[in-house]
Amino acid sequence: MQEKTLDLIKKIEHDYKISVGATDARTYWIIHARVPKKQETGFYCLYTRRKYITAPNQEGSVLILPHPRISDAYLIESWGEMETFDDFVRKALSQIIVDTNVADNEEAEGYGTGCV
């Protein structure tokens, strides 16, 4: 992974108070994130865990596991061409930010929500 991609991960973790992990294996790529929901008390509680999985030869198809620890449900999205792991990480981070904004705007806690 390029240094600028690592810096981007650190910045997003700091700015959004999330935890991001990235795995670059030879045959697949994985990004996982814990996206918090800010409570009125000022504490952060875990809103959701998400996992994004693809492979270099998948032509932009990404498997998304919205709640990988508690559900077998998944989505498949097309994110367009991603030639490198860094391309995948940047696109996943954009999606994680969207998920964070959704979590902050939710009025009720969702299934799988728990405090950290």
pLDDT in tens, 58-103: 999 999 998 888 888 999 999 999 999 999 999 999 998 887 776 5
Determine the Cα–Cα distance for residues 77 and 73; give it in Å rounded to an integer: 14
- Residue 53: what pLDDT? 96
Determine the Cα–Cα distance for residues 35 and 99; give it in Å rounded to an integer: 7
Domain count, the chain: 1
Torsion of CA 58, 77, 13, 36, to 10 degrees: -140
pTM of the prediction?
A: 0.79
Residue 25: give the domain boundaries.
1-32
The answer as to whether 59 is a domain residue is no
Specify the 3-state DSSP secondary structure of 26: coil
The answer as to whether 109 is a domain residue is no
The answer as to whether 40 is a domain residue is no
The answer as to whether 75 is a domain residue is no
The answer as to whether 22 is a domain residue is yes
The answer as to whether 47 is a domain residue is no
The answer as to whether 10 is a domain residue is yes
The answer as to whether 2 is a domain residue is yes
